[in-house]
């Protein structure tokens, strides 16, 4: 199972009540089962979201043998009413990073790995 690690970032609206609500939605049992199933169906074996202030970082490990291409994933998610409703709900809490208007969860580029250092 060839794994790839991918990392993403997005901001939340800087409002303590909204941030608390977003955190609550991500407690165990918060996301709908169909959302978790859709994530796993995409070959995701690890998915963690980290928060500092209003900035979030998502770390994901994905089996590249199972992972769909981006167009297939978008189509599959759009056709799943539970995933579409979850995405719409979460978008109400998120705001675009300053350099990526209109986007959420912008994929990050790895620029350093200790394992590659002498």
Active site residues: 13
E runs forming strands in 1-118: 3-12, 44-52, 55-63, 94-95, 106-107
Sign of CA dihedral 10, 11, 17, 18: negative
């Amino acid at each position: 199972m060839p794994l790839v690690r991918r990392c993403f970032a997005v901001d939340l609206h800087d409002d303590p009540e909204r941030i608390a609500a977003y955190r609550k939605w991500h407690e165990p049992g918060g996301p709908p089962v169909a959302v978790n199933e859709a994530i796993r169906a995409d070959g995701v074996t690890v998915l963690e979201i980290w928060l500092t202030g209003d900035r979030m970082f998502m770390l994901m490990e994905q089996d590249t043998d199972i992972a769909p291409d981006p167009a297939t994933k978008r189509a599959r998610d759009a056709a799943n009413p539970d995933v579409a409703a979850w995405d719409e709900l979460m978008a109400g809490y998120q705001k675009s990073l300053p350099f990526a208007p209109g986007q959420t969860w912008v994929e990050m580029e790895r620029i350093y790995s200790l394992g590659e250092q002498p």
